[in-house]
Structure 1
C-alpha cells in the first residue's frame, strides 16, 4: 500500500476589496444575486455570477422547494441560464457567495460535478471565486480543482 496526497492550489485574498477590479465586480454581482434567492426553509441565500467569454454577466440564485430535495443551487441555476442564453459559449470566471456567511462558501458536490460537466462540454476550464458576505475570498484557476477524483461520461462508457 502507498499513500498519495491531493493538493489544491488557490489564492487567498483578505477581503473582496483586495481582488483585482474585474473579480471584485463579479463577486458584487454574485452578492446582489443573493437577493434573488428563494430560501424560506434554510434561510441560506446563495448567489452566483459568471462572466462569459463574451463579457456578458449571467446570475443565478438558489431556489428551494417544500418538496425537498427538489430545489436547485445557485451555481446550477447559473449554469442552466448560461447554457440556455449563451449556447456553446465558455465561462471565463464564476463567483459564488452567501448573504449570511462570513467565510468563503464552497459549491456542493452536485454543483462541483455540474461545473466539471460544463467545462468538459465547452472545452475550457473557468476560474472560481468563492466568498462570503464579508471576510476572506478564495480563487481557484480551474473549478475542477474542487473535484480532483471526478469521473466523466467517457469514464462511464469504459
Structure 2
C-alpha cells in the first residue's frame, strides 16, 4: 500500500487479498493482518473516501470477506483535529 500511495497517489483500492504460506505446516485458517497494517489500510480508506473489501484466504480453506477496515479495527486512530492543515 505504501508503494501504491507513493507511485499512484490518486489510485483507488477497491479490494485486496491477504494470504500466507509456510513450508513448515499447513495453514488451515485464513491469516489476518497485524494492527499496524490495518491502520495503514484504514488511512488509505479515509484518503480515498471509499471502503476496501478484504479477502483473507488460505489454500484449500475458507475465505473470509470483510468490507471496510473499521470492521477489523473498530478503534482505528482517526483524529482530524490533529492534522497539520486544519
Q: Trace 1:4-153 onto structure 2 (pairs within 5 A).
A: 79-100=1-22, 101-153=27-79
Moved over 3 A (4+): none
Cα offsets for 1:43-90 (capped at 9, x unmatched)? xxxxxxxxxxxxxxxxxxxxxxxxxxxxxxxxxxxx012112321211
3-state SS of the aligned residue for 2:76? coil
TM-score, normalising length from structure 2?
Answer: 0.80
Which gives a bigger RCO, structure 1 or 2 (Cα 8 Å, sep 6+)? Answer: 2
3-state SS of the aligned residue for 1:148? coil
Number of residue pairs the alignment of both structures matches: 79
User: Higher Cα Rg: structure 1 or 2?
Assistant: 1
Cα offsets for 1:8-32 (capped at 9, x unmatched)? xxxxxxxxxxxxxxxxxxxxxxxxx
Across the aligned residues of Structure 1 and Structure 2, the Cα RMSD in angstroms comes to 1.6
TM-score, normalising length from structure 1?
Answer: 0.46
Asked whether the 8 Å contact 1:119–1:125 carries over to 2, the reply is yes
Runs of 5+ unmatched residues, structure 2: none
2-structure distance, mates of 1:155, 1:140 = 29
Runs of 5+ unmatched residues, structure 1: 1-78
